Amino acid sequence: MANTKPSIPKGTRDFGPEEMAKRNYIFNTIKEVYALYGFQQIETPAMETLHTLMGKYGDEGDKLLFKVLNSGDYLKDISDEELRDRNVLHLQSKLCEKGLRYDLTVPFARYVVMHRNELQLPFKRYQIQPVWRADRPQKGRYREFYQCDADIVGSDSLLNEVELMQIVDTVFQRFGIRVQIKINNRKILSGLAEVIGEADKIVDITVAIDKLDKIGLEKVNEELRENGISEEAIQKLQPVIALTGFNEEKLKVIADVLKDSETGLKGVEETSFILNALKKVGLKNEMQLDLTLARGLNYYTGAIFEVRALDTPMGSITGGGRYDNLTGIFGMPGLSGVGISFGADRIYDVLNALDLYPKDAVRSTQLLFINFGEKETEYCLPIIAKARETGIRTEIYPDAVKMKKQMSYANAKHIDFVALAGDNEIEAGKVTLKNMVTGEQNLVDVDEMIKQVLG
């Protein structure tokens, strides 16, 4: 039997030490900002029951769920006739009771319902874990990727939306990524569907216009026609989809268009409040009202957000919105929520493309001790312990091999300092410290060594 070359599933990736250092920089930066705003961390299982997951993401989302085959004899309850019929949806329902989570929001809603008696409302949680989608892999789109979510449940206040946008702005400032933050409101979209006479087609309309950036206006209109939207309604949508100008100008125009829709005007009022509040706090990145932004997920009911990098081509790198009725699906009606999700994998790619990682974030070892033999190692070990006590990331090469090999190891790991201790250094009670960046080396005592390495 021929040996099969090892591989990983399409749409997944391995991450080596340097890549993990970069990813941890992303996670730690986001965690620090979440903590500044009083969010607490939770985790939920990788698998949820399909009862929890199905029907929460629309038909397109349901198709992208990874289903997990039941363990044991999963065919025991399937008849030969059912197998011959090859009804995939029917077979899935009997063969699979669980699925990999598609996002972190639905599992969070399930968590809130199950733990409601333990929670202090409003509850501000953050969660950084992988999710899975059976999507077609392409640049910036993976089947396994991390999300970094923050959600607030138990409060209707729009100040929560304002705070979440401040978090987005702060995180991308810290990364050094220039972004555009887009905002819209599902109530505005619902109002539009009302005034064009297609209120019952709101989901079809939002799913179609959310693809505007990807497929263009002509194909969006084609999809609307295929979904049974009348030609008259499509024509009424055109000026709104094409609307340009400052946020205030857009709000005035859309308020006039929606003057006969109570729901639509409520959306305009909410959006106006958020934009005005954010003006007062002085965001560093641009907020743009984008009336084509729809966020295809069915559970959004109010403000919706999406963030794109300005200096490199990439899809959405952060998104979110208000979901007033999500926990109602799990038997807990009336609990409002709003959240955002940072796409860590896309942020990783953006930081790579723009070369924005700080040097300290991607370097591991700061100081390497050369191994000359048993006597020298015995002398170095207490010094190494003292260096580590001061927070210096320190190694000793484990084998007493040729010095060239040990120095090559230091270069390969981008270690800035190398310490050498032979007979002369031991006699003097010092070490020779070599700066691998400048090439300069000096005989120094332990305190001076620590001072130079720490900079």
pTM: 0.83
CA distance linking residue 134 with residue 144, whole number of Å: 9
151 is in an annotated binding site: yes
Indicate the Cα dihedral angle 24, 29, 32, 36, nearest 10°.
-160
**Minimal CA–CA distance to 383: which of 394, 375, 399, 371?**
394
103 is in an annotated binding site: yes
What secondary structure letter does DSSP report for 57? Answer: S
Give, for all 455 residues of the chain, the pLDDT tens digit: 457 899 999 999 999 998 999 999 999 999 999 999 999 999 999 999 998 998 888 788 888 999 988 777 777 777 777 777 776 666 776 778 899 999 998 899 899 999 999 999 999 999 999 999 998 888 768 899 999 999 999 999 999 999 999 999 999 999 999 999 999 999 999 998 888 877 777 777 777 877 877 788 888 888 888 888 888 888 878 877 777 889 999 999 899 889 999 999 999 999 999 999 999 999 999 999 998 888 765 678 999 999 999 999 888 899 999 988 768 878 888 888 999 999 898 899 899 999 999 987 877 899 999 999 999 999 999 999 999 999 999 999 999 999 999 999 999 999 999 999 999 999 999 999 999 999 999 999 999 999 999 98
Q: Which two tokens stand for residue 416?
A: 């800035």
- The contacts of residue 350 (CB under 8 Å, 6+ apart) are 177, 309, 312, 314, 317, 356
308 is in an annotated binding site: no
Treating both helix axes as pointing N-terminal to C-terminal, what angle do 231-241 and 212-226 enclose, rounded to 10 degrees?
160
Which position has the token pair 């959405």? Answer: 316
Residue 257 pairs with which residues in a beta bridge? Answer: none
CA distance linking residue 131 with residue 12, whole number of Å: 11
Phi, psi of 14 (to 5 degrees): -90, 150
Q: Which two tokens stand for residue 142?
A: 């993976």
The domain segmentation of the chain, as residue ranges, is 17-47+102-354, 363-454
366 is in an annotated binding site: no
DSSP β-ladder status, 144-153 and 179-185: unpaired
Give the fold, CATH level 3, of 17-47+102-354.
BirA Bifunctional Protein; domain 2 (3.30.930)
85 is in an annotated binding site: no
What secondary structure letter does DSSP report for 66? Answer: P
- The contacts of residue 360 (CB under 8 Å, 6+ apart) are none
Residue 367 pairs with which residues in a beta bridge? Answer: 394, 417
300 is in an annotated binding site: yes
DSSP string of 128-168?
A: EEEEE--PPPBTTB-SEEEEEEEEEES---THHHHHHHHHH
In terms of Cβ atoms closer than 10 Å to its own Cβ (0-12, 13-18, 19+), residue 271 is buried
CA distance linking residue 70 with residue 361, whole number of Å: 42
Please give the single-letter amino acid code of residue 294: A
What secondary structure letter does DSSP report for 155? Answer: -
Indicate the Cα dihedral angle 198, 203, 206, 207, nearest 10°.
-130
CA distance linking residue 101 with residue 80, whole number of Å: 31
299 is in an annotated binding site: yes
Q: What pLDDT does 117 receive?
A: 92
- The contacts of residue 213 (CB under 8 Å, 6+ apart) are 292
Give the fold, CATH level 3, of 363-454.
Rossmann fold (3.40.50)
CA distance linking residue 362 with residue 351, whole number of Å: 12
CA distance linking residue 15 with residue 17, whole number of Å: 7
CA distance linking residue 261 with residue 190, whole number of Å: 9
